[in-house]
Amino acid sequence: MPVAFDPTGDLFGIDFTVAGAQLYRMASAEILGQAWEDELCVEDTLFLEVHHYCATELGVRAAQDEYAESGKIPATVRTVPIGPWCVYWWRQFSSGHRLELTFNKP
């Protein structure tokens, strides 16, 4: 019995051959309709840099700990002291810290 086909499932890490890609497109068109590719958006993340801002160094460390607990291991971690910054225009901080995390492609 064939495995059920789910075109909306997670395809991360699958590399199609030319024939496999054509089969995937044909099956998707049968299941989702002929216009299933019209609004399709494809992304490939090669490198990701995430910034977290906090008024205290302790807050930056807490954000870093959340990544460690989630299992996402950054390639590099850098804490940078910054000058005045704001989250919203009505709430400005005189100084703070920026946590810079970089992640390589999984």
pLDDT digits (tens, 9 = 90+) for 16-34: 788 888 888 888 889 988 8
pLDDT at 100: 94
| Extents of the domains making up the chain | 1-42, 47-104
The residue among 1 and 9 whose pLDDT is bigger is 9
Distances (CA, A) of 76 to 59, 65, 72, 97, 98: 18, 14, 12, 16, 14
- One-letter-per-residue 3-state SS of 20-74: HHHHHHHHHHHHHCCCCCCCCCCCCCCEEEEEEEECCHHHHHHHHHHHHHHCCCC
Share above pLDDT 70 across residues of the chain, in percent, rounded to a whole number: 85
| CB-CB contact of 79 with 86 (8 Å) | no
Share above pLDDT 90 across residues of the chain, in percent, rounded to a whole number: 23
Q: What is the DSSP letter of 27?
A: H
- Whether 6 shows a pLDDT value over 70: the answer reads no
The residue among 14 and 97 whose pLDDT is bigger is 97
pLDDT at 101: 92
DSSP 3-state of 75: coil
- Whether 81 shows a pLDDT value over 90: the answer reads yes
Distances (CA, A) of 31 to 18, 25, 35, 49: 20, 10, 11, 37
- Whether 66 shows a pLDDT value over 80: the answer reads yes
